[in-house]
């Protein structure tokens, strides 16, 4: 495609490829809507105005044309879908670009996992860019399947789809000037570095930002978000499946702050992709709250393109790629047509493309490797009368730290369904070390059985919660047989299983199929007594030791406020 040809098409001296005619164009530069035509040549927009000469003309009078939507921070693995199936799920929703951090698969398979997801996301009709995982493992208080240092990361910078360093979760490492952390920050100082620093304020926040960290998606309250924005950070408002921060942070958006605000999902399950949508569902919520639709679109188009220095996407204008979404109105954001680089890739919710599955799957299958489990490995002697208990709740990654009197039987602590104090077990599953972390948790309200998952951010060991040891052991062992997934057990039987053979995180089944299986799991779990909206999503974050306040890994209980491993009996009493 020559520059001369593009100029000639823009001047109507040469025929274009596609014209979107008589559309209401969302202009994210001045937050307006203008009526006109969009002419596309090869993969670019070459003109906005009045045009008539093209091989193909779409008469779209009365419809709106928006730039393709951008998710500023997502872990594709957390959708349970391989990149190709993820693309088929989100492109019809108007998402044409995501900035992905592959630290989930990297924690399982290291550089082989990163290579897999890079290869599997090539040649898809959307733009998938990557931030390299900064914290594998996420902390010293867990054992993952790999450990990545700067030497492992820098070879990936030659890939044009790699934009910088992913969320720096190890903020204590930044504040304490950990040598390995500083080496990563210094190496990426001329690149983009994403942040992850819940509740960090004051001089500690100053020190964190001094490391070159430019954004944060972990703000859960308005004062925190305001301080971070005032100090130059870009605020990613997250509305995912597990964490939903839009309600708390909506007042942050005003005429002064909007250029520094982005939208992201972080983690999004197939059930939410199908039921609600992707970024378009966040736009719908913003408009319902009273935000101007055009401004809402800007938060998910031009703003992220500027933050990530993606000069060819994020707007409808000459010299931008023809990534365009056609809506019937700007209230429900249901795409009618979706174009990626001028090609129609989805129509009325249906993907109009296929993809070739990658042949490079080495290192991301058969990743569950557990040392033989026995009842003794998941039992805990009652050394004291009172114990620390994790407090979980729906739609939040943050847990509480409780102290309760233990339920003791024959000298061992057991689950107490009457008080909703259940056993939680984390089993190392990468190298068969035999590590098992045992604790107790409140909030799941299971009355019988057990649930388990090989999705346990970010180390992705197997985590199980149950009312009895027999079902806990069964729910864990079945996952080893299937290479990972999610299971429910009761009375010594497996009631249902979703197999996730890619790293114990993903499947190449469709979003619809995964959603059907997942809904069965939810139905069964709720029959067992849980009242959580999504117990499996909540379960997957109970082992993440970089989110306050009390978590558990294969090493044991982690007090994330002090960043120390503590005994279940270390109650301070």
The model's confidence at residue 547, banded by pLDDT at 50, 70 and 90, is confident
The secondary element (H helix, E strand) that includes residue 58 is: strand 54-59
In a domain, 125, yes or no: yes
**pLDDT for the residue 328:** 94
User: 160: exposed, middle or buried (C-beta count within 10 Å: 0-12, 13-18, 19+)?
Assistant: exposed
Task: Look at residue 56 and tell me if it is in a domain.
Answer: no
Q: Quick check: 395 pLDDT over 80?
A: no
E strands, 75-224, where? 95-100, 127-132, 162-168, 192-195, 215-216
- Last residue of one domain, picked from the residues 277, 294, 311: 294
Q: Which residues pair with 25 in a beta bridge?
A: 34, 65
Q: Report CA Rg, the chain.
A: 24
- In a shared domain, residues 286 and 385: no
70-to-97, 120, 229, 417 alpha-carbon distances in Å: 5, 19, 20, 44
Tell me, what's the pLDDT at 573? 65
- Classify residue 101: in a domain, yes or no: yes
Which residue, among 302, 69, 102, has the nearest Cα to 194 in the 3D structure? Answer: 102
**Residue 177's pLDDT is what?**
97
Q: Are residues 86 and 198 in the same domain?
A: yes
Residue 264 lies in a domain: yes
Residue 274 sits in the same domain as residue 150: yes
The domain containing residue 526 runs over which residues? Answer: 375-566
Query: What is the pLDDT at residue 504?
Result: 97
Would you say residue 146 lies in a domain?
yes
pLDDT over threshold 90, residue 413: yes
Q: Give the range among 136-145, 158-167, 280-289 with minimum mean pLDDT.
A: 136-145
For the beta sheet containing 400-405, the strands, ordered from the edge strand earlier in sequence to the opposite edge, are 400-405, 386-391, 436-442, 421-427, 462-466, 450-453, 485-490, 493-499
Q: Where does the pLDDT of residue 359 fall: very low under 50, low under 70, confident under 90, or very high at 90 and above?
A: low
Task: List, for residues 89-133, the tens digit of each pLDDT value.
Answer: 999 999 999 999 999 999 999 999 999 999 999 999 999 999 999
Both 423 and 529 in one domain: the answer is yes
Give the mean model confidence (pLDDT) for residues 389-409. 93
Which pLDDT tens digit goes with each residue over 21-45?
999 999 999 999 999 999 999 999 9
- The predicted structure's pLDDT at residue 418: 98
In whole angstroms, what separates CA 488 from the centre of its chain? 24
**CATH number for the domain that contains residue 237:** 3.20.20.140
Mean pLDDT across 461-470: 98
Helix, strand, or coil here: 505?
coil
- On the question of pLDDT at 572 being above 90, the answer is no
In a domain, 481, yes or no: yes
87 phi and psi angles, rounded to 5 deg: -60, -40
pLDDT for 91: 98
Within this chain, do residues 560 and 462 fall inside the same structural domain, yes or no?
yes
pLDDT (0 to 100) of residue 24: 98
Domain co-membership, 258 together with 400: no
Q: What is the pLDDT of residue 1?
A: 61
Q: Which tokens is 524 given? A: 């069964």
Q: Mean pLDDT over all residues of the chain?
A: 96
Same domain, 278 and 406: no
Counted domains in the chain: 2
DSSP code per residue over 290-358: T--HHHHHHHTTHHHHHHTT-TTSSS-STTEE--EEEES-TTT--EEEEEETTEEEEETTEE----PPP
Residues 270 and 386 placed together within one structural domain of the fold: no
Residue 546: what are its φ and ψ, rounded to 5°? -120, 10
Please check whether residues 262 and 388 belong to one and the same domain: no
Task: Examine the fold and report which residue of 294, 319, 347 is the final residue of a domain before the chain moves on.
Answer: 294
Cα–Cα distance measured from residue 250 to residue 261, given in angstroms and rounded to the nearest whole number: 11
Whole-number Å distance between alpha carbons of 534 and 542: 13
Best CA proximity match to 491, nearest among 454, 531, 447, 534: 447
> Of 272, 294, 316, which residue is a domain's last?
294
Instruction: Please report the pLDDT score of residue 241 as a whole number.
Output: 85
Residues 504 and 386 occupy one common structural domain: yes
Q: pLDDT band at 539, cuts 50/70/90? A: very high
Give the DSSP per-residue string, 394-420. TT-S--EEEEEE--EETTEE--BTTTT
Is 287 within the bounds of a domain?
A: yes
SS3 532: coil
Cα 465 off chain centre by: 23
Residues 273 and 382 in one domain: no
Percent of the chain residues topping a pLDDT of 90: 92
Which band of pLDDT confidence, cut at 50, 70 and 90, is reported for residue 364?
Answer: very high
Residue 332 placed within a domain: no
Phi, psi of 564 (to 5 degrees): -135, 145
| 92 in the same domain as 211 | yes
- At 205-258, the pLDDT tens digits run 999 999 999 999 999 999 999 999 999 999 999 999 878 999 999 999 999 999
The answer to whether residue 265 scores a pLDDT higher than 70 is yes
- Residues near 106 by Cβ (< 8 Å), separated by ≥ 6? 113, 114, 133, 136, 146, 148
Query: Quick one: pLDDT band at residue 138, thresholds 50, 70, 90?
Result: confident
The pLDDT assigned to 247 comes to 97
């Amino acid at each position: 495609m020559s520059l001369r040809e593009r100029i000639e098409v823009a001047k109507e001296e040469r025929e274009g490829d596609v014209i979107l005619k008589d559309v209401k164009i969302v202009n994210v530069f001045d937050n307006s809507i203008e009526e006109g035509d969009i002419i596309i040549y090869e993969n670019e927009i070459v003109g906005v105005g009045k045009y008539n000469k093209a091989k193909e003309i779409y008469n779209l009078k009365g419809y709106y044309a928006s730039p393709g939507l951008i998710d500023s921070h997502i872990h594709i693995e957390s959708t349970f879908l391989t990149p190709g199936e993820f693309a088929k799920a989100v492109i019809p929703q108007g998402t044409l670009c995501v900035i992905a951090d592959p630290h989930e698969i990297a924690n399982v398979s290291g550089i082989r996992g990163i290579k897999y997801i890079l290869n599997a996301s090539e040649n898809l009709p959307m733009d998938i860019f990557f931030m390299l995982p900064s914290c594998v493992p996420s902390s010293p208080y867990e054992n993952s399947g790999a450990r990545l240092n700067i030497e492992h990361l820098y070879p990936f910078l030659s890939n044009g789809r790699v934009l910088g360093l992913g969320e720096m979760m190890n903020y204590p490492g930044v504040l304490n000037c950990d040598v390995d952390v500083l080496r990563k920050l210094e190496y990426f100082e001329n690149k983009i570095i994403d942040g992850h620093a819940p509740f960090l304020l004051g001089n500690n926040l100053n020190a964190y930002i001094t490391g070159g960290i430019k954004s944060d998606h972990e703000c859960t309250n308005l004062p925190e978000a305001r301080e971070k924005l005032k100090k130059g950070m870009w605020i990613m408002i997250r509305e995912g499946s597990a964490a939903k921060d839009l309600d708390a942070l909506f007042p942050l958006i005003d005429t002064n702050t909007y250029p520094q605000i982005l939208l992201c999902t972080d983690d999004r399950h197939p059930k939410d992709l199908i039921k609600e949508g992707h970024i378009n569902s966040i736009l719908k919520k913003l408009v319902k709250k009273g935000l101007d639709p055009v401004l809402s679109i800007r938060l998910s188009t031009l703003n992220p393109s500027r933050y990530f220095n993606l000069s060819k996407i994020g707007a409808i204008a000459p010299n931008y790629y023809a990534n365009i979404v056609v809506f019937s109105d700007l209230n429900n954001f249901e795409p009618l047509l979706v174009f990626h680089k001028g090609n129609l890739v989805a129509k009325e919710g249906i993907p109009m493309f296929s993809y070739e599955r990658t042949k490079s799957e080495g290192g991301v299958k058969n990743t569950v490797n557990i040392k033989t489990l026995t009842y003794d490995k998941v039992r805990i002697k009652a050394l004291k009368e009172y114990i620390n208990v994790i407090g979980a709740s729906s739609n939040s990654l943050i847990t509480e730290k409780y102290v309760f009197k233990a339920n003791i039987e024959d000298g061992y602590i057991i689950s107490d369904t009457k008080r909703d104090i259940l056993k939680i077990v984390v089993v190392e599953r990468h190298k068969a070390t035999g590590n098992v972390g045992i604790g107790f948790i409140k909030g799941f309200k299971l009355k019988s059985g057990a649930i388990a998952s090989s999705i346990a951010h970010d180390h992705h060991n197997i985590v199980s919660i149950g009312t009895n040891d027999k079902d806990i052991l069964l729910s864990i062992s079945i996952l080893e047989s299937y290479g990972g997934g999610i299971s429910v057990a009761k009375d010594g039987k497996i009631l249902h299983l979703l197999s996730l053979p890619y790293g114990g995180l993903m499947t190449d089944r469709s979003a619809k199929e995964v959603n059907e299986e997942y809904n069965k799991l939810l139905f069964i779990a709720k029959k067992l007594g849980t009242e959580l909206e999504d117990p499996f999503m909540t379960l997957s974050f109970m082992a993440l030791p970089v989110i306050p306040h009390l978590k558990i890994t294969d090493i044991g209980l982690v007090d994330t406020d002090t960043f120390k491993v503590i005994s279940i009996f270390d109650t301070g009493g």
